[in-house]
């Protein structure tokens, strides 16, 4: 496809946005054969299948989803330009779709995103939580702009994505007050046979924790393995067991869950990454978050490492 026909793209975008050809016909005031024919011409020009049939419905293929997200940006920017030329302010503002790995501590995710919530410009933030592998696919399809995770993308996991190290933090051990009183003396030797709530074995943090237990000759009593970090802290707040969490948010954890930090798991660190597609590196909202993370959120630790 040497040259994009924006009229065909507009028909395609309208059908995808409104869910059916008939709905698009009402919106565009065109006959169904006209729309169907233009879709076929556009698909042929693109050189890829954009739709597949599921019963009586047309469903976008993966390529169709990618084309749709590009079209969303193209026509949204066009509307912004029209508003600017007519002297109207845009209500949509800057938009950012953020993917958050399910292994990412939610308090860290919040602190990364928080600077965007106080910008003077209108912004639209959309957060989606899922497995890292599925979110990497979403980046490739351009349905999300940035992914926050605790592990970097590898060459085998995704193509044309870039890892940005945000920073690292030490990891502390937290407990509800009744357990904290019992295990606060002679730390960490006192933790032998202590009840623990641990992240699931498929996480980077769990692998570091298991290694730390071996180095400290500690055999924990594993009360539960919990994938979701918020649920794990909720169990911990109820006194079900001790748990690990980033020390950089120790004050927030104590305030929200009533669980003080007993001490640091020396040598255990969590690393946090932002993963983006190449074309997203200059998104203004992404730039705000990356600069805040590297210059403020993780600044003290980064300076000490340097």
Give a yes or no: residue 202 inside a domain.
yes
pLDDT digits (tens, 9 = 90+) for 85-143: 554 445 556 788 899 998 899 999 999 999 888 888 778 888 999 988 889 888 877 77
HSE toward the beta carbon, residue 68, CA cutoff 13 A: 22
Give a yes or no: residue 1 inside a domain.
no
What is the mean pLDDT of the segment spanning 137-162? 81
Does the structure show a pLDDT above 60 at 279? Answer: no
Do both 193 and 264 map to the same domain? yes
Give a yes or no: residue 196 inside a domain.
yes
Do both 246 and 214 map to the same domain? yes
Question: Looking at 52, 85, 118, which one is the last position of a domain?
Answer: 85
Whole-angstrom distance, CA of residue 175 vs CA of residue 269: 19
Do both 148 and 282 map to the same domain? yes
Do both 27 and 173 map to the same domain? no
Whole-angstrom distance, CA of residue 244 vs CA of residue 235: 12
Do both 101 and 144 map to the same domain? yes
Do both 266 and 277 map to the same domain? no
pLDDT digits (tens, 9 = 90+) for 71-95: 888 887 776 666 555 544 455 567 8
Do both 60 and 136 map to the same domain? no
Long-range contacts made by residues 204-210, C-beta under 8 angstroms, separation at least 24?
204/103, 204/150, 204/151, 204/270, 204/271, 205/103, 205/150, 205/171, 205/244, 205/268, 205/270, 208/171, 208/268, 208/269, 208/270, 209/171, 209/244, 209/265, 209/268
Boundaries of domain holding 26:
6-85
CATH number at residue 153: 3.40.190.10
């Amino acid at each position: 496809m040497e040259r994009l026909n924006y009229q065909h793209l507009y028909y395609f975008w309208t059908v995808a946005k409104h869910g059916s050809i008939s709905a698009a016909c009402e919106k565009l005031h065109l006959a169904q054969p006209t729309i169907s024919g233009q879709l076929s011409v556009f698909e042929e020009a693109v050189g890829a299948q954009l739709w597949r049939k599921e019963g009586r419905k047309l469903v976008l293929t993966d390529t169709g989803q990618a084309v749709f997200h590009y079209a969303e940006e193209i026509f949204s920017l066009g509307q912004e330009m029209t508003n600017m030329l007519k002297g109207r302010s845009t209500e949509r503002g800057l938009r950012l779709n953020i993917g958050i790995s399910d292994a990412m501590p939610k308090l860290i995710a919040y602190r990364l995103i928080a600077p965007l919530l106080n910008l003077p410009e209108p912004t639209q933030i959309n957060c989606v939580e899922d497995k890292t592998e599925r979110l990497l696919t979403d980046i490739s399809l351009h349905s999300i702009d940035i992914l926050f995770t605790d592990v970097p993308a590898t060459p085998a996991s995704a193509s044309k994505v870039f890892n940005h190290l945000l920073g690292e933090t030490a990891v502390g051990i937290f407990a509800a007050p009744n357990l904290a009183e019992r295990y606060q003396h002679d730390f960490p030797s006192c933790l032998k046979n202590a009840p623990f709530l641990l992240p699931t074995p498929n996480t980077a943090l769990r692998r570091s924790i298991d290694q730390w237990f071996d180095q400290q000759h500690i055999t924990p009593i594993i009360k539960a393995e919990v994938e979701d970090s918020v649920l794990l802290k909720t169990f911990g707040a109820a006194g079900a067991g001790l748990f690990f969490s980033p020390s950089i948010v120790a004050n927030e954890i104590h305030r929200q869950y009533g669980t003080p930090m007993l001490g640091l798991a020396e040598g255990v660190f969590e690393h946090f990454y932002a993963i983006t597609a190449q074309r997203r590196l200059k998104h203004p909202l992404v730039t705000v978050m990356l600069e805040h993370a590297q210059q403020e959120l993780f600044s003290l630790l980064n300076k000490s490492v340097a």
